[in-house]
């Protein structure tokens, strides 16, 4: 009986790890998309954009949520004289969250696709 519990625990741990990994990847993709959006608005060069993407993704590690990303992008807009406020940035983050989620979820296979059959029949 304890083997069943150990197997179940291992399964739950694997699911938690996979869910955490997906969440991290979705957030990182969202941050990259936000940085690309902002870079386009600011007319950044490709080199500037690549550096900016890394800065925005790294800024999301400062605290839970995405307000650290809002601050980073907002400060860059201010430095470059762009008239885009924090609310517009938040709206874009929310919009791009769903885009990032769709992109990442399409990369992950379904856990029980058509190649799995019922066990014990």
pLDDT along the chain (121 residues), means of 10: 78 83 93 97 95 95 90 95 93 96 82 57 48
Instruction: Name residue, tokens 């550096």.
Output: 51
- CA dist., res. 29 & res. 64, Å (int): 16
Q: What is the DSSP letter of 44?
A: -
33: its two tokens: 């998309």
- Position 75 scores a pLDDT of 94
- Position 25 scores a pLDDT of 93
- CA dist., res. 101 & res. 19, Å (int): 12
In CATH, the number for domain 26-107 is 1.10.790
């Amino acid at each position: 009986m304890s083997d069943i519990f150990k197997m179940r625990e291992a399964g739950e741990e694997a699911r938690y790890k996979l869910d955490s990994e997906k969440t991290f990847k979705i957030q990182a993709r969202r941050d990259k998309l936000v940085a690309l959006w902002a870079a386009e608005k600011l007319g950044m060069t490709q080199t500037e954009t690549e550096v900016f993407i890394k800065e925005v993704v790294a800024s999301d590690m400062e605290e839970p949520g995405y307000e650290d990303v809002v601050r980073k992008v907002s400060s860059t807009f201010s430095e470059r004289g762009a008239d885009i406020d924090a609310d517009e940035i938040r709206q874009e983050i929310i919009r791009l969250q769903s885009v990032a989620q769709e992109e990442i979820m399409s990369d992950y296979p379904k856990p029980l696709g058509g190649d799995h059959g019922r066990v014990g029949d």
